[in-house]
Amino acid sequence: MPAPPDPSRDLQARHAELRARYADLQARGLRLDMTRGKPSPEQLDLSEGLLALPGNRDHRAESGEDARNYGGVQGLAEVRALFSGVLGAPPEQIAVGNNSSLALMHDCIAYALLKGVPGGAAPWSREEIRFICPVPGYDRHFALCETYGIGMLSVPMTPRGPDMDAVEDLARDPAVRGMWAVPQYANPGGETYDDETVARLAGMATGAPDFRLFWDNAYALHHLTDRRPALRNILEACAAAGRPDRPLVFASTSKVTLAGAGLAFLAASPANLRWYLACAGKRSIGPDKLNQLRHARFLRDAGGLERLMEGHRRLLAPKFRAVTDALARALAGTGAARWSEPAGGYFVLLEVPDGCASRVVELAAGCGLALTPAGATHPYGRDPRDRTLRLAPSYPSLGEVEAAAEVIALCTLLAAAENRQAGGSGQV
Ligand code: PMP
């Protein structure tokens, strides 16, 4: 009679085969970096025309203002009008900052800590305060909280947005003063908040009268497919719910024109905008209006913006497809991973078996592929289940992305096999 199959021998053979394939990949001497969602050089080339603008003797804004000079803290009217649709706010409720929306978020937090916000009784720094953090989320949001001693309360993301029962529960605490939200093509999961989530965020009761929703719409224009998500307008929803001062809306052209030399925006209620401009007017005599003029000349109108984003999509969509196709080829049906198929934004979220994410990062590094550190998607850099990975395919070339995806898939299989050998399930 033939001997019954020995499952442990099967596992060992499978593990040995994966190790051999891993050694082959190591021998290729790859040097790849998928750590951050940076635009590629080809994407930056789409906006090369900016560098010649506004050009000699072109320095007058529509208002007649000389863009070379001091002043104009709110930003040029034509630029605010151009981005009014993206921000979902009338031009008078928009301020244009310099090149970083993260800097605007930082400044709003710093002003709130030092001076308080409209509707608040005191500066936030007088008490221990906390923010609600949808998880997985954006590491730099968490780093801002950490650096200023703002406690972080995690709530899980769902395909429709953050778990709203959990959010509403936490928001009742008066120490909870804020919440992070990346409402469209979220970093890193790619989710877009649905209408009910937006309505509940706008309408929910908060223990703090000066609660602020940091609505970071970084990926408002960054579609990877023909579909257009219909994200509900948060400023309108909050105003309709009688809480016009709740949201602070942020966006930028970092991933539209030039990541290091774009424009950033804040849109908010009239009271919030007055507050911001009063604070910003102390910080600086005015923003770089020549860069604003340059952007107005280059982009022209909403159609110009759309055509530029189509150029980005042509470069980005094949890279995202290369990642998800490679993951599907290697991992579908194995139970060793789950991943997002984002319709926009800059990231693919990969979930691996509990306890395996840091091992996948380590194995990938062993093949010359740098990944975002495991844990970066969670407050304090700690993913309690060590299972979440953020993949950023924008910067490397298509060929490099294909090679990197192969490495990630193999490292996931190997980590899952090790996990099984150590007595884990090896399954997500
Ligand atoms: N918000 C989110 C959600 C992001 O993913 C990024 C870039 N990775 C930023 C903000 C940074 O924006 P900016 O370049 O305008 O500072």
Q: What is the DSSP string of 289-343?
A: HHHHHHHHHHH-SHHHHHHHHHHHHHHHHHHHHHHHHHHHHHHTTTSS-EE---S
Confidence of residue 9 (pLDDT cuts 50, 70, 90): confident
* One domain for residues 75 and 212: yes
Q: Which of 138, 139, 255 to mutate to test the pocket of ligand 1 (most atoms within 8 A of CB)?
A: 138
Residue 10: the pLDDT is: 80
Quick one: average pLDDT of 180-197?
Answer: 98
Quick one: average pLDDT of 368-384?
Answer: 97
State the closest ligand 1 atom to the C-alpha of 259, by its place in the atom list counted from 1.
14
pLDDT in tens, 50-102: 999 999 999 999 999 999 999 999 999 999 999 999 999 999 999 999 999 99
Q: What are phi and psi of 91, to 5 degrees?
A: -55, -35
* One domain for residues 207 and 342: no
What six digits make up the tokens of 239?
Answer: 């105003």
- Report the CATH number that the domain containing residue 284 is assigned in CATH: 3.40.640.10
Mean pLDDT of the chain: 96
CA angle, corner 39, sides to 189 and 276, nearest 5?
Answer: 75
Residue 12: the pLDDT is: 86
* One domain for residues 136 and 170: yes
- 330 C-alpha to ligand 1 centroid (Å): 31
Amino acid symbol at 403: A
Nearest Cα to Cα of residue 64 among 285, 289, 298: 289
What six digits make up the tokens of 192?
Answer: 């877009």
**Does residue 129 belong to any structural domain of this protein?**
yes
Domain that holds residue 319: 7-44+305-421
Q: Which residues have C-beta within 8 Å of that of residue 261, sequence separation ≥ 6?
A: 50, 99, 291
Amino acid symbol at 328: A
- 205 C-alpha to ligand 1 centroid (Å): 29
Residue 2: the pLDDT is: 59
**Does residue 49 belong to any structural domain of this protein?**
no
Give Cα 246 to chain centroid, integer Å.
Answer: 21
Residue 253: the pLDDT is: 98
pLDDT in tens, 24-43: 999 999 999 999 899 999 99
* One domain for residues 256 and 337: no
Give just the sign of the alpha carbon dihedral 331, 332, 337, 339: positive
- Taking 90 as the threshold, does the pLDDT of residue 1 lie above it? no
d(CA 162, CA 201): 10
Q: Which carries the bigger pLDDT value, residue 232 or residue 6?
A: 232
Nearest Cα to Cα of residue 407 among 333, 347, 323, 346: 323
* One domain for residues 309 and 296: no
Tally of residues, the chain: 428
DSSP letter for each residue of 41-83: HHHHHTTGGGGG-S-TT--B-TTS-BTTSS--TT--HHHHHHT
* One domain for residues 328 and 197: no
State the closest ligand 1 atom to the C-alpha of 264, by its place in the atom list counted from 1.
15
Give Cα 187 to chain centroid, integer Å.
Answer: 3
Residue 259: the pLDDT is: 98
State the closest ligand 1 atom to the C-alpha of 102, by its place in the atom list counted from 1.
16
pLDDT in tens, 242-271: 999 999 999 999 999 999 999 999 999 999
**Does residue 175 belong to any structural domain of this protein?**
yes
Quick one: average pLDDT of 293-303?
Answer: 97
d(CA 355, CA 294): 49
- 218 C-alpha to ligand 1 centroid (Å): 6
**Does residue 1 belong to any structural domain of this protein?**
no
Q: Which residue, judged by its Cα, is nearest atom 6 of ligand 1?
A: 218
State the closest ligand 1 atom to the C-alpha of 251, by its place in the atom list counted from 1.
15
Confidence of residue 384 (pLDDT cuts 50, 70, 90): very high
Give, rounded to a whole angstrom, the gap between the first and last alpha carbons of the chain: 37
- Total domains present in the chain: 2
Quick one: average pLDDT of 406-414?
Answer: 97
pLDDT in tens, 115-139: 999 999 999 999 999 999 999 999 9
* One domain for residues 285 and 400: no
Q: Are 392 and 364 in contact (CB under 8 A)?
A: no
- 11 C-alpha to ligand 1 centroid (Å): 43
State the closest ligand 1 atom to the C-alpha of 103, by its place in the atom list counted from 1.
16
Q: Which residues have C-beta within 8 Å of that of residue 293, sequence separation ≥ 6?
A: 53, 54, 58, 59, 61, 67, 76, 79
State the closest ligand 1 atom to the C-alpha of 347, by its place in the atom list counted from 1.
5
Q: Which of 252, 256, 265, 266 to mutate to test the pocket of ligand 1 (most atoms within 8 A of CB)?
A: 252
Quick one: average pLDDT of 372-390?
Answer: 97
Residue 198: the pLDDT is: 98
* One domain for residues 65 and 92: yes
Helix (H) or strand (E) holding 369: strand 369-371
- Taking 80 as the threshold, does the pLDDT of residue 173 lie above it? yes
**Does residue 275 belong to any structural domain of this protein?**
yes
- 102 C-alpha to ligand 1 centroid (Å): 6
Where a domain ends, among 245, 276, 300? 300
Q: Are 377 and 358 in contact (CB under 8 A)?
A: no
Quick one: average pLDDT of 304-308?
Answer: 97
State the closest ligand 1 atom to the C-alpha of 346, by its place in the atom list counted from 1.
5
d(CA 256, CA 164): 31
* One domain for residues 310 and 336: yes
- B/e letters for 151-166, b = 16+ CB within 10 Å, e = fewer, are ebbbbebbeebbbbeb
Name 391's bridge partners: 348
Quick one: average pLDDT of 276-300?
Answer: 97
Quick one: average pLDDT of 232-237?
Answer: 98
Q: Quote the percentage of the chain above a pLDDT of 70.
A: 98
- 23 C-alpha to ligand 1 centroid (Å): 37
**Does residue 50 belong to any structural domain of this protein?**
no
Where a domain ends, among 254, 271, 300? 300
Nearest Cα to Cα of residue 421 among 5, 3, 13: 13
* One domain for residues 90 and 207: yes
- Report the CATH number that the domain containing residue 409 is assigned in CATH: 3.90.1150.10
Where a domain ends, among 280, 300, 320? 300
Quick one: average pLDDT of 407-412?
Answer: 98
Nearest Cα to Cα of residue 341 among 314, 311, 321: 321
Residue 3: the pLDDT is: 59
Q: Which residue, judged by its Cα, is nearest atom 4 of ligand 1?
A: 218
Confidence of residue 205 (pLDDT cuts 50, 70, 90): very high
What six digits make up the tokens of 203?
Answer: 């309408």
- 106 C-alpha to ligand 1 centroid (Å): 12
**Does residue 203 belong to any structural domain of this protein?**
yes
- 323 C-alpha to ligand 1 centroid (Å): 22
* One domain for residues 274 and 412: no
**Does residue 427 belong to any structural domain of this protein?**
no
Amino acid symbol at 169: D
State the closest ligand 1 atom to the C-alpha of 254, by its place in the atom list counted from 1.
14
- 253 C-alpha to ligand 1 centroid (Å): 10
**Lining residues, ligand 1, CB within 6 Å:** 37, 100-102, 138, 182, 187, 216, 218, 252, 254, 264
* One domain for residues 265 and 367: no
